[in-house]
Structure 1
């Protein structure tokens, strides 16, 4: 299968209420959460063929950043991914011990879209 026929994507889902009252995290802090979790999941699955193929795409890599309404929704997603053996990483910010973001290992869109389709693009 060629790269063109395999739509590899890395999904990230951030806890959206972090940017709203009462937490009011600045945009930079949210970006850092996404960077941390993206690097962590790629590191954990660096030798997986899909990850290698994704990274080889260079500036053509496709990443989709979505928003979970709150930590409960993020935790529920993590449980669903775990139950379905979908490789992912939950980033837990310390010392607050808040699950802030989930990144899925880069993989074919058709394998994982069903688990994240209910979430909207992060705004």
Structure 2
């Protein structure tokens, strides 16, 4: 019997972070933006901790794949959240408190091909 040479499915956690928060009039420091992405990623992993993809993703911490994309503004981020909700794509929309500002969306880990169609208009965060 031949051994299987199939590679395990690559899982990616996508984050979409608001770019306008780094610019005037907001001018948030880089650390604050990184914290928003971290909050969203952690929340999505926690909320979806029982999903098999999340379990596999967390089994090999040194090989996690995350992609951080940028949304130009809050409306675009909220529109994406609505689309993901309608398409039953598991995600977390992080709201910074106490201001209740939508800052970042994190999807639970997914195979890239399952969610890339919803994210193709977003470029890598710079």
TM-score over 0.5 (shorter chain)? yes
The two structures have a TM-score, normalised by structure 2, of 0.93
Confirm or deny that 1:118 pairs with 2:102.
no
Unaligned runs of 5+ in 2: none
Richer in helix (by share): 1
User: Could you say which residue in structure 2 is the equivalent of 1:23?
Assistant: 26
Q: State the Cα distance separating 1:117 from its structure 2 match.
A: 1.1
User: Could you say which residue in structure 1 is the equivalent of 2:95?
Assistant: 92
Q: Deviations over 1:61-119 (max 9, x none)?
A: 10000000000100000000000000000000012211000000001111001111110
Confirm or deny that 1:64 pairs with 2:57.
no
Highest CA radius of gyration, 1 or 2? 2
Of the three residues 49, 53, 61, the one matched with 1:50 is: 53
User: Could you say which residue in structure 1 is the equivalent of 2:76?
Assistant: 73
Unaligned runs of 5+ in 1: none
> Distance between the aligned counterparts of 2:62 and 2:6, measured in 1?
14
Q: Figure out how many residues of one structure are paired with residues of the other and give that number.
A: 123
- Please report the RMSD computed on the Cα atoms of aligned residues, expressed in angstroms: 1.6
Q: State the Cα distance separating 1:57 from its structure 2 match.
A: 2.2
The two structures have a TM-score, normalised by structure 1, of 0.95
